[in-house]
Chain A
Amino acid sequence: MTSGTTTGLPAGVVARDVPAAPRRRAKRRKDRAGYLFLLPWFIGMLFTVIPFFASLYLAFTDYNLLNAPQWIGLGNFREMLDDPLLRQSLKVTFIYTFVSVPLSLVVALGVAMMLNQGIKGLPVYRAVFYLPSLLGGSVAIVLLWKYIFGFDGIVNGFLGWFGIDGPGWTTDPDYALTTLIILHIWTFGSPMVIFLAGLRQIPTMYYEAAAVDGASRWRQFRSITLPLLSPIIFFNLIQSLISSFQTFTQGFIMSGGTGGPADSTIFYNLYLYQQGFSQFHMGYASAMAWVLLVIIAAFTALNFLAAKYWVFYDN
């Protein structure tokens, strides 16, 4: 056996194939540089990977932060089946997601198409529509929403001009979630900016050719815009679904942390927070987190499968 030191390699390295050694040495040096650059990321990954598996373990335990976790098998999941508040939180989250995501994407696409017609003052309009999406998740805006829609708020004052007796938007369980869905639609700006960038990449000659062939505006939209934009629609859909399933601040601020009125804004993550950080049911909260992860993964996978049939890739 050849000792590494005789070939000029650092101790401990065995060079069986001497001619390849310089090349290997270069490779090792490259590896070392790469890993050094990634060092913070590697440490950060430990903060991701270990908690990931730890939370899977905790999902099968009873844990209150003070005593050691106690293995209870499927106990948490069984409890979830009988938990009416959990069912309610899933319902709230699903309604919110499946109403507000499609609506805001349709609005985003519609406005992006209007902006793409070479109108004057495009940067101003883009700024006006984009700004709300940067503010939408902040406490200040949710507070504002609470009072704009509140019983004596400005919305009912406005409806009053038309003789409509507005509901108690934030106090009536039938309307509280609607208020938050409207807030979500108000933040359509970030998908809109992405749509707008995508629309600008579609060559105008496609539309010119279609117009020569006598295709209507609707036909042009269906046969040119939609297919060429479909990868971007897909991206926006996935992003919006994932973030919408995790809504928290809106429900928390609107209800002062309770999920009220009558549990109508008890978003899944708000209930998870209550379980984990008000009642310190850490095991149950972990189990809830994994159920939501599976739900999100399932919807994402479903979208990727369905994408084969409607997303069109040019290359």
Chain B
Amino acid sequence: MLCVLGAVMMYPLLWMVSSSLKPSRDVFTDLSLWPSNWDLGNYPDGWTALEHPFTVYFVNSLVIVVLSIIGNLVSCSLAAYGFARLNFTGRKLFFALMLGTMMLPGHVLLVPQYIVFAKLDWINTYYPLLVPNFLATNAFYIFLMVQFMRSLPSELDDAARMDGCGPFRTFWSVIMPLCMPAFATTAIFTFISVWNEFFGPLIYLTDSELYTVPLALRQFIDSEGQSQWGQMFAMSFLSLAPVIGFFIAGQKYLVKGIATTGLK
């Protein structure tokens, strides 16, 4: 029963891989997963099928993803340490506010944020996609790290204070090294969500030179007339490959991360 369900779940992905290896005319006529005619040309042809080669789109996506990961790790870990281990006036209130933003649907902020970014002349730049990540706007990751930091014994901070460490030294030398699992979870989640993100790039990037991979893929349906399905599936598969790779490498952290935020 589980085997059948698993096969059904994986079938669409396998079909995509198989279609990417078939000549376009066979995609909808040859129903078997094992191509009867192989066409490896879909990959090199698809790579250059659009206005720019996919190298451009992959590099763009990669730049945004790497900077987003750095931004989230730095800003969210600072905020999380403040919430989890320091005592200051208004902490409870701010924490409640932070949890509140976690539930706030992003579309409410969309129009004014767009106006601000437009006034700053940031349309057609990566700033609207990157800057918010450096300002700890992803409450989910703060929450994940707070949960993790709270589970560390408070004796650690006391011992560090005895040894003359201020809060920054304690954060940097004592807490941070212990938080690597939470950071790994954050990095992987950020990777997957930013890599797949469509809406932000759609409204902020209009210059095709700046396009990310999802925006580029969308152009395959705009130029549907050619019906280069094989190429489209080849590039679709390549766009998913990094996510699948990260998933296989970081499954442990993902499952743990999602389970702890859901349970507490």
Q: Are A190 and B258 in contact (CB under 8 A)?
A: yes
Q: Mark A34-51, 1 if CB is under 8 A from B, else 0.
A: 110111110111011011
Counting CB contacts under 8 A, is B5 at the interface?
yes
Counting CB contacts under 8 A, is A132 at the interface?
yes
Name 12 extra pairs, CB < 8 A, besides A144-B15, A246-B107, A293-B105.
A33-B166, A35-B82, A45-B101, A50-B112, A52-B104, A55-B109, A115-B2, A186-B12, A198-B262, A236-B262, A248-B198, A286-B111
Counting CB contacts under 8 A, is B134 at the interface?
yes
Residues of A contacting B254 in the complex (Cβ-Cβ under 8 angstroms): 130, 134
Q: Are A277 and B86 in contact (CB under 8 A)?
A: no
Known contacts A33-B86, A140-B236, A194-B258; decide if A285 and B111 are in contact (CB<8 Å): yes
Interface residues of A in 263-293 (CB under 8 A from B): 269, 272-273, 276-277, 282, 285-286, 289-290, 292-293
Instruction: State which of B39-47, B179-187, B239-247 sits at the interface with chain A.
Output: B239-247
The interface size of chain B toward A, counting residues with CB under 8 Å, comes to 85
Secondary structure class of chain A's binding surface, majority of residues: helix
Counting CB contacts under 8 A, is B97 at the interface?
yes
Residues of A contacting B53 in the complex (Cβ-Cβ under 8 angstroms): none
Q: Are A242 and B263 in contact (CB under 8 A)?
A: no
Return B47 CB to nearest CB of chain A, in Å. 15
The one of A27, A47, A145, A150 that contacts B135, using a Cβ cutoff of 8 Å: A47
- The complex places the Cα of A66 from the Cα of B27 at a distance, in Å, of 48
- The complex places the Cα of A76 from the Cα of B13 at a distance, in Å, of 44
Known contacts A47-B132, A144-B236; decide if A35 and B259 are in contact (CB<8 Å): no
Residues of A contacting B78 in the complex (Cβ-Cβ under 8 angstroms): 37-41
Counting CB contacts under 8 A, is B229 at the interface?
yes
Return A277 CB to nearest CB of chain B, in Å. 6
Residues of B contacting A194 in the complex (Cβ-Cβ under 8 angstroms): 258-259, 262-263
Q: Mark B120-146, 1 if CB is under 8 A from A, else 0.
A: 000000000000101111000010000
Known contacts A40-B136, A41-B142, A119-B2; decide if A144 and B16 are in contact (CB<8 Å): yes
Counting CB contacts under 8 A, is A18 at the interface?
no
Residues of A contacting B13 in the complex (Cβ-Cβ under 8 angstroms): 131-132, 135
B218, closest chain A residue (CB): A139
A119, closest chain B residue (CB): B2
Counting CB contacts under 8 A, is B233 at the interface?
yes
Q: Are A148 and B109 in contact (CB under 8 A)?
A: no
Counting CB contacts under 8 A, is A256 at the interface?
yes
Give me the interface of B with A, judged by CB distance under 8 Å.
1-2, 5-6, 9-10, 12-13, 15-16, 27-28, 31, 74-75, 78-79, 81-83, 86-89, 91, 94, 97-98, 101, 103-116, 118, 132, 134-137, 142, 166-168, 171, 192, 196, 198-199, 202-203, 214-215, 217-218, 220-222, 229, 232-233, 236-237, 239-240, 243-244, 247-248, 251, 254-255, 258-259, 262-263
Known contacts A40-B78, A249-B198; decide if A153 and B28 are in contact (CB<8 Å): yes
- The complex places the Cα of A8 from the Cα of B112 at a distance, in Å, of 46
- The complex places the Cα of A10 from the Cα of B31 at a distance, in Å, of 79
Q: Mark A3-44, 1 if CB is under 8 A from B, else 0.
A: 000000000000000000000000100110111011111011
Q: Are B196 and A137 in contact (CB under 8 A)?
A: yes
Known contacts A232-B263, A248-B199; decide if A34 and B111 are in contact (CB<8 Å): no
A-B pairs with beta carbons under 8 A, tally:
245
- The complex places the Cα of A216 from the Cα of B245 at a distance, in Å, of 43
- The complex places the Cα of A43 from the Cα of B135 at a distance, in Å, of 6
Counting CB contacts under 8 A, is A220 at the interface?
no
Ranked 6 nearest A-B pairs via Cβ: A34-B88, A44-B135, A37-B82, A197-B259, A194-B262, A51-B112
- Size class of the A contact interface (CB-based, 8 Å): 35 or more
Q: Are A125 and B221 in contact (CB under 8 A)?
A: no
Q: Are A51 and B15 in contact (CB under 8 A)?
A: no
Q: Are A143 and B262 in contact (CB under 8 A)?
A: no
- The complex places the Cα of A138 from the Cα of B98 at a distance, in Å, of 27
Residues of B contacting A129 in the complex (Cβ-Cβ under 8 angstroms): 5-6, 9
A150, closest chain B residue (CB): B28
- The complex places the Cα of A132 from the Cα of B254 at a distance, in Å, of 14
Return B197 CB to nearest CB of chain A, in Å. 9
The one of A30, A134, A276 that contacts B243, using a Cβ cutoff of 8 Å: A134
Counting CB contacts under 8 A, is A101 at the interface?
no
- The complex places the Cα of A201 from the Cα of B263 at a distance, in Å, of 10
Interface residues of A in 180-196 (CB under 8 A from B): 186, 190, 193-194, 196
Known contacts A33-B166, A47-B137, A50-B112; decide if A296 and B105 are in contact (CB<8 Å): yes
Q: Are A256 and B132 in contact (CB under 8 A)?
A: no
Residues of A contacting B255 in the complex (Cβ-Cβ under 8 angstroms): 126, 130, 193, 197
- The complex places the Cα of A290 from the Cα of B107 at a distance, in Å, of 9
Residues of B contacting A105 in the complex (Cβ-Cβ under 8 angstroms): none
Q: Are B91 and A34 in contact (CB under 8 A)?
A: yes
Return B175 CB to nearest CB of chain A, in Å. 11
Known contacts A33-B86, A134-B192; decide if A154 and B240 are in contact (CB<8 Å): no
